[in-house]
């Protein structure tokens, strides 16, 4: 069981968003790390092993997609919540394919994001808990021990029109 308060790395090239998010996360008692571009983010992930990464997509030097690609090569990678101003199905699908755990469209309510962070973190920390709590169609990936089912918001919000195809597209 992981600690209840995850360490969160915020990656965004907008200083004001970094500021606003840090304020919220610290008020909730999270430990926060900041990065202004993808390369810094990868470095800090490697060095400081955050639990959850809040990842912007449109960034200089290395964008969010690049970060996700690099992360997919990592052994013990953190959970990733993509924060993006783009809301097209194509972008959401791409994030999902690159292994993101959540996709949040800007603008968002910081409160909701706090909840999502906690949920995503626990999801990883205790898969059996998540499975018993969820409906019966949840499957457990035997190779990784990670629940292959996406959080409900993937189905409800992010991929509203491909719900039926989800089971087909799941990895593993």
Is residue 99 involved in binding other proteins (CB under 8 A)?
no
Cis peptide before 131 (omega within 30 of 0): no
Complex with other proteins: residue 98 or 127, whichever CB lies closer: 98
- The most distant pair of C-alpha atoms in the chain lies apart, rounded to whole Å, by 43
The single residue among 1, 109, 135, 171 that binds other proteins, judged by CB under 8 A, is 109
Sites for other proteins among residues 111-140 (CB under 8 A):
111
Candidates 22-30, 116-124, 132-140, 158-166; binding stretch for other proteins (CB under 8 A): 22-30
Is residue 33 involved in binding other proteins (CB under 8 A)?
no
Cis peptide before 107 (omega within 30 of 0): yes
H/E stretch holding 152 reads: helix 152-153
CA–CA distance, 91 with 82 (Å, rounded to integer): 10
Complex with other proteins: residue 56 or 101, whichever CB lies closer: 56
- Shortest Cβ 110–other proteins spacing (Å): 5
154: its two tokens = 């993937």
Is residue 13 involved in binding other proteins (CB under 8 A)?
yes
Sites for other proteins among residues 76-95 (CB under 8 A):
85-86
Q: Name, in order, each residue with C-beta under 8 angstroms of 113's C-beta and a sequence gap of 6 or more.
A: 21, 24, 54, 81, 83, 104
Q: How many Cβ atoms from other residues are within 10 Å of residue 122's Cβ?
A: 18
Sites for other proteins among residues 44-73 (CB under 8 A):
57-61, 63-64
Complex with other proteins: residue 46 or 60, whichever CB lies closer: 60
Which of 156, 60, 27 shows the shortest CA–CA distance to 104? 156
- The binding site for other proteins (CB under 8 A) comprises 13-17, 19-21, 23-24, 27, 38, 57-61, 63-64, 85-86, 105-111
């Amino acid at each position: 069981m992981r600690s209840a308060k995850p360490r969160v790395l915020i990656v965004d090239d907008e200083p004001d968003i970094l500021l606003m998010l840090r304020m919220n996360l610290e008020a909730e008692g999270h430990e926060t790390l900041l990065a202004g571009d993808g390369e810094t983010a990868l470095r800090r992930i490697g060095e400081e092993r955050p639990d959850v990464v809040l990842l912007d997509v449109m960034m200089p030097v290395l964008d969010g997609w690049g970060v996700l690609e690099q992360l997919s090569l990592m052994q013990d990678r953190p959970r990733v919540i993509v924060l993006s101003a783009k809301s097209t199905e194509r972008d959401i699908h791409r994030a999902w394919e690159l292994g993101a755990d959540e996709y949040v469209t800007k603008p968002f309510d910081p409160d909701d994001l706090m909840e999502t962070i906690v949920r995503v973190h626990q999801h990883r920390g205790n898969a059996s808990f998540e499975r018993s709590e969820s409906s019966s169609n949840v499957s457990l990936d035997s190779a990784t021990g990670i629940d292959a089912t996406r959080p409900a918001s993937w189905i409800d919000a992010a991929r509203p029109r491909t719900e039926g195809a989800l089971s087909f597209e799941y990895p593993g």
